[in-house]
């Protein structure tokens, strides 16, 4: 069964060979989908015949957002912590322990309902691929449970046993790293595609460069791809470690020195910026222009989590990137789609080209620019193609 999606006022393909500029823009466009895969893209006037036709009334269509960094398996609420930060309290990662206690105490059903609710909330806002991390269990059983649940909603599952040192290991962080790199990794690796670590010598709760290296090297030896929470609170070793170990992504990148930017520019590690975190922790934003001008591949993601940033809206992150980080609307939209796909080393999402997944998002507006131009307005949603 072939489906023609027609009446697309502006189509973002993210393929410069198909249309104008880096977004590969086409106007008055159409595309044909067969079995969930894009098989044809072009001007509507040249569209081939198809079995059925859906018209989107001149709206803009883009690839569904690829949210490459999210923590969605958790219980509890930290609105009070957010409120305290807005009155001057500092974020240091310590609140993660509050969520760990609530998550351990929750039933599978409670965690699953929360997780599915958040994934549905994302989809209603145009996100069609999401990475989901563990990291609020921090025992072998609770990390495996988190990853099993995550795998019910996405193929992009990330083992983050090294999120913080849990209370029962306080003062014995090396012993906890032994657990993470040993039995916990062995039990979790079958359920994960990626390994991640919160590398932050500036936090009393997170992991230093040597510990992060141990976690990442063990993850790689277990067959997992690598991602790093890097340089969020201070200019630590995380970014350079990520590039050295060819991690797919270094995430946060808020505090960078020249050596960090040079390293990113010389490697294939994507810099994933999470401006919702700076918004929600009242912190200075990362210098996106410096990264882009150095030729670094930049992605945008939500970091949706109950502590440092509880938004599920990629459109909000795009608006922040444009307003606060001086990315152009086109750069921000690319980063939230093709950039996120690159950060997950995926070529089947983030682009609307023949052979890609037919993950479409539609904007109730004539252009992608409205995502930043109309902040806070729920304009974008995943386009559900009837089965
Ligand atoms: O990406 N930095 C560490 N992890 C999350 C925050 C998680 C939390 O505060 O619960 C982050 O910001
Ligand atoms: Fe995170």
Best of 68, 70, 71 for a ligand 1 pocket test (most atoms within 8 Å of beta carbon)? 71
42 versus 386: the higher-pLDDT residue is 42
Regarding whether 243 and 194 lie in a shared domain, the answer is: yes
Regarding whether 136 and 28 lie in a shared domain, the answer is: no
- What is residue 366's DSSP assignment? S
* CA 58 to centroid of ligand 1, rounded, Å: 39
Q: How much is the mean pLDDT over the chain? A: 98
Regarding whether 73 and 55 lie in a shared domain, the answer is: no
Please indicate, yes or no, if residue 228 is contained in any of the structural domains.
yes
Which pLDDT does position 354 carry in this prediction?
Answer: 98
* β pairing state of 25-34 and 2-12: antiparallel
Alpha helices in 27-184 (DSSP H): 79-86, 96-105, 108-123, 140-151, 173-179
Regarding whether 193 and 47 lie in a shared domain, the answer is: no
Please indicate, yes or no, if residue 224 is contained in any of the structural domains.
yes
Which pLDDT does position 240 carry in this prediction?
Answer: 98
* CA 60 to centroid of ligand 2, rounded, Å: 30
Taking residues 129-137, report their average pLDDT.
Answer: 99
Regarding whether 121 and 10 lie in a shared domain, the answer is: no
Regarding whether 244 and 296 lie in a shared domain, the answer is: yes
Taking residues 331-345, report their average pLDDT.
Answer: 99
Taking residues 187-214, report their average pLDDT.
Answer: 97
Q: Tell me the sheet residues that pair with 162.
A: 197
**How many folded domains does the chain comprise?**
2
Give the number of the atom of ligand 1 that is nearest the alpha carbon of residue 308: 9
Binning pLDDT at 50, 70 and 90, where does residue 375 land?
A: very high
Whole-angstrom Cα distance, residue 252 to residue 302?
A: 10
Q: Which domain holds residue 51?
A: 2-64+351-382
**List of residues 6+ apart from 159 with CB closer than 8 A:** 133, 134, 143, 147, 185, 188, 189, 191, 192, 194, 195, 196, 219, 224
Q: Kindly list the protein residues whose Cβ atom lies closer than 6 A to any atom of ligand 1.
A: 71, 93, 95-96, 99, 198, 229, 232, 277, 303, 305-308
Handedness of CA 169, 88, 289, 14 (dihedral sign): positive
Query: Residues with Cβ within 5 Å of ion ligand 2?
Result: 303
Taking residues 193-212, report their average pLDDT.
Answer: 97
* CA 71 to centroid of ligand 2, rounded, Å: 6
CATH code (residue 237): 3.20.20.140
Whole-angstrom Cα distance, residue 360 to residue 350?
A: 9
**List of residues 6+ apart from 264 with CB closer than 8 A:** 239, 243, 250, 253, 271, 291, 294, 296
CATH code (residue 33): 2.30.40.10
Regarding whether 200 and 110 lie in a shared domain, the answer is: yes
Whole-angstrom Cα distance, residue 56 to residue 280?
A: 35
Binning pLDDT at 50, 70 and 90, where does residue 387 land?
A: confident
Regarding whether 160 and 33 lie in a shared domain, the answer is: no
Please indicate, yes or no, if residue 387 is contained in any of the structural domains.
no
Whole-angstrom Cα distance, residue 51 to residue 71?
A: 40
Regarding whether 243 and 107 lie in a shared domain, the answer is: yes
* CA 308 to centroid of ligand 1, rounded, Å: 5
The answer to whether residues 359 and 382 touch, using CB atoms and an 8 Å cutoff, is: yes
**Short-list 62, 24, 70, CA closest to 337:** 62
Whole-angstrom Cα distance, residue 11 to residue 23?
A: 9
DSSP assignments along 235-249, one per residue = --SHHHHHHHTT-SE
Best of 233, 250, 281, 307 for a ligand 1 pocket test (most atoms within 8 Å of beta carbon)? 307
CA distances from 171 to 97, 119, 159, 253 (A): 15, 36, 23, 27
Six-digit token string for 131: 């990475």
Tens digits of residue pLDDT in 36-59: 999 999 999 999 999 999 999 999
Taking residues 291-316, report their average pLDDT.
Answer: 98
How buried is 67 (Cβ within 10 angstroms: 0-12 exposed, 13-18 middle, 19+ buried)? buried
H or E stretch covering 365? none
Taking residues 165-192, report their average pLDDT.
Answer: 98
Binning pLDDT at 50, 70 and 90, where does residue 311 land?
A: very high
* β pairing state of 65-67 and 127-130: parallel
* CA 241 to centroid of ligand 1, rounded, Å: 19
Regarding whether 144 and 60 lie in a shared domain, the answer is: no
Regarding whether 290 and 376 lie in a shared domain, the answer is: no
Which pLDDT does position 386 carry in this prediction?
Answer: 81
Q: Directed axis angle between helix 108-123 and helix 140-151, to 10°?
A: 40
Whole-angstrom Cα distance, residue 184 to residue 361?
A: 38
**Short-list 192, 179, 198, 183, CA closest to 146:** 192
Regarding whether 101 and 245 lie in a shared domain, the answer is: yes
């Amino acid at each position: 069964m072939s489906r023609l999606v027609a009446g697309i006022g502006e189509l973002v393909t993210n393929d410069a060979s198909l249309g104008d500029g880096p977004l590969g823009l086409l106007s008055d466009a159409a595309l044909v989908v067969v079995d969930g895969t894009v098989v044809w893209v072009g001007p509507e006037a040249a569209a081939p015949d198809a079995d059925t036709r859906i018209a989107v009334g001149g709206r803009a269509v883009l690839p569904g957002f690829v949210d490459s960094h999210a923590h969605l398996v958790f219980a509890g609420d930290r609105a009070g912590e957010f409120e305290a930060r807005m009155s001057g309290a500092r974020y240091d990662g310590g609140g993660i322990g509050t969520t760990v206690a609530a998550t351990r105490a929750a039933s599978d059903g409670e965690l699953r309902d929360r997780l599915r609710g958040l994934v549905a909330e994302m989809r209603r806002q145009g996100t069609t691929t999401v990475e989901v991390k563990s990291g609020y269990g921090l025992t072998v059983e609770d990390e495996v449970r988190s990853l099993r649940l995550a795998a019910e909603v996405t193929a992009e599952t990330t083992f983050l046993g090294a999120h913080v040192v849990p209370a029962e290991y306080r003062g014995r962080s090396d012993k906890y790293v032994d657990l993470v790199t040993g039995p916990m990794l062995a039990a979790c690796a079958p359920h994960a595609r990626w390994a991640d670590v919160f590398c932050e010598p500036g936090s009393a709760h997170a992991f230093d460069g040597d510990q992060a290296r141990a976690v990442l090297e063990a993850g790689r030896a277990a067959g997992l791809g690598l991602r790093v929470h890097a340089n969020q609170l201070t200019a630590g070793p995380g970014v350079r470690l990520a590039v050295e170990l060819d991690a797919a992504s270094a995430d946060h990148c808020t505090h960078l020195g020249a050596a960090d930017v040079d390293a990113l520019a010389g490697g294939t590690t994507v810099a994933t910026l999470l401006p919702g975190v700076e918004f929600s922790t009242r912190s200075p934003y990362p210098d996106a222009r410096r990264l882009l001008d150095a030729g670094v591949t930049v992605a945008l993601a939500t970091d949706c989590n109950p502590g440092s940033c509880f938004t599920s809206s990629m459109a909000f992150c795009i608006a922040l990137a444009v307003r606060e980080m001086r990315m152009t609307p086109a750069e921000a939209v690319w980063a939230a789609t093709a950039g996120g796909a690159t950060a997950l080393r995926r070529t089947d999402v983030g682009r609307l080209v023949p052979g890609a997944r037919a993950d479409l998002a539609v904007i109730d507006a004539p252009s992608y620019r409205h995502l930043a131009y109309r902040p806070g307005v729920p304009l974008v949603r995943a386009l559900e193609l009837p089965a």
